[in-house]
Chains A and B, each alone.
Chain A
Amino acid sequence: MPAYEIEIILNRQLADCLSIPVFITDTMGNLIFYNEPAEEIFGKRFEDTGEMPVEQWSTMFRPVDEAGIRLPPDELPLVKTLQNATPHHKTFWIESLQGKNQKISVTSYPIIGRTGVMSGAVAIFWKSNDE
């Protein structure tokens, strides 16, 4: 298996130093890394799961709007970033593991290195304390 581009490797090394939850995907949306703060939101440990295909990890969150209506994937920041290689931001709710909705803001950006080609994307989850 070829190595990732250095901008992906450096994003992981950076994420590993941060206290904010960070998810990193490849260009297909496969989850290739998430840091310790992200493990709390996700309810899984990277050490246990390793990389996860997009079909598997994308179904683990149920994103809903204020009225509790399911958000279509095309409205999610990370999906948009992967589609058009631009940064996005949105606040919405996800159903927590306990069945309670958690308000979060997600900021996503594309990883585009010196070659000018997108090699992946990063999503930062900001947990909101209000309902």
Chain B
Amino acid sequence: MKIKLWGVRGSITTTGPETAYYGGNTSCVDVWEDGCVLVLDGGSGIQKLVLDNELVTKRIDVLLTHLHMDHIQGLGFFSPLFDPSMEVHIWGPASITRTLHSRLSRYLSPPLFPVLIRDLPCKLTFHEIQNSHFTIGPFTIHTDYVIHPGPTVGFRVSGRRSTFTYIPDHEPALGKNGIIKSSQWLSGFDLAVGADLLLHDAQYTGQEYLKKKGWGHSSMEDAGLFASMAGVKRVLFAHHDPSRTDIQLDDIFTAFQEKNSYTFNYQLAREGMEIILDDL
């Protein structure tokens, strides 16, 4: 399984030399195996996504964790949608009252976007997901609702030899005393348990989180605790706060590392990073 990160910034894109190292594009990751690709989230990073591996079929699956702008804003600029020879499948959560198609149409329609979904030339199919299990090519995918404002899921993607868990927006600590230290009471636990790699929300420092409770995101401490409880092998801290420069991110992460040690390897997610999981 090969994973590439196309966008790891949270909330809004950032541009400029001061964020060039970790990158300013919002959430998007691709996952390859056996010539098949999954695109996780359609943030601004999707615009740069290059299908540099050989696709065995003319099919691409885009899986959306939720429909906050930073996870869909690049969709309208994803070139396969405009290619009549491509088969594109979009998977994402519906709401209680509106279909996925109708929810996405709010963005992919005038005045916010010039093209209507129905006018996209590719062969487009929508799939609604909740607490779901399904397969796409060589991938087995498990999705569960996780704690974040609005219908939001995380993904557990298993290939032939490895498992990647993707939960970029998640606040498992929401409550009076934070995370309940029992796996049964941990939002997202079933998605992450024993995963080879976890990409998880770590937008805030512990101090910042105290002022941002209920905003839907995690501190680095909570991301670390979540990963420990789930027994993952490696973690990428992601959804970097848009106000952070590369230097600030490095400083915060260094200070965090001095205070926190885990049995697993953890690092900051960086745009352009590639990971081959089967080699771990």
Contacts and interface: CB of A to CB of B under 8 A. Distances in A.
Interface in B185-199: 185-190
Interface stretch (B5-13, B42-50, B70-78, B173-181): B173-181
Contact-residue bracket for chain A: 10 to 19
Nearest to B189: A3
A69 interface: no
B147 interface: yes
A6 B183 contact: no
B175 A13 contact: yes
A82 B219 CA distance: 37
B210 interface: no
A16 B96 contact: no
Given A13-B176, A17-B176, A114-B96, A4 B183 contact: no
Main secondary structure on chain B at its contact with chain A? loop
A6 to B, nearest CB: 5
B184 interface: yes
B187 to A, nearest CB: 5
Nearest to B174: A13
B147 A3 contact: no
Nearest to A3: B189
Contacts of B209: none
Contacts of A14: 175
B186 A114 contact: no
Contacts of B95: 114
B147 A10 contact: yes
A3 B183 contact: yes
A16 B93 CA distance: 29
Interface residues of B, number: 22
A1 interface: yes
Nearest to A1: B184
Contacts of A1: 183-184
Given A13-B174, A13-B176, A114-B96, A3 B187 contact: yes
A36 to B, nearest CB: 11
Contact of A16 (B176, B184, B189, B190): B176
Contacts of A16: 175-177
B146 interface: yes
A113 B180 CA distance: 20
A17 B178 CA distance: 12
A3 B189 CA distance: 6
Interface in A1-44: 1-6, 9-10, 12-14, 16-17
A115 B131 contact: yes
B130 interface: yes
Contacts of B130: 114-115
B204 interface: no
B180 A12 contact: yes
A113 B145 contact: yes
A13 B179 CA distance: 9
Given A2-B190, A3-B190, A12 B177 contact: no
B151 interface: yes
A9 B151 contact: no
A126 B147 CA distance: 29
Interface in A51-77: none
10 contacts: A1-B183, A1-B184, A3-B185, A3-B186, A3-B189, A10-B147, A12-B180, A14-B175, A113-B145, A114-B96
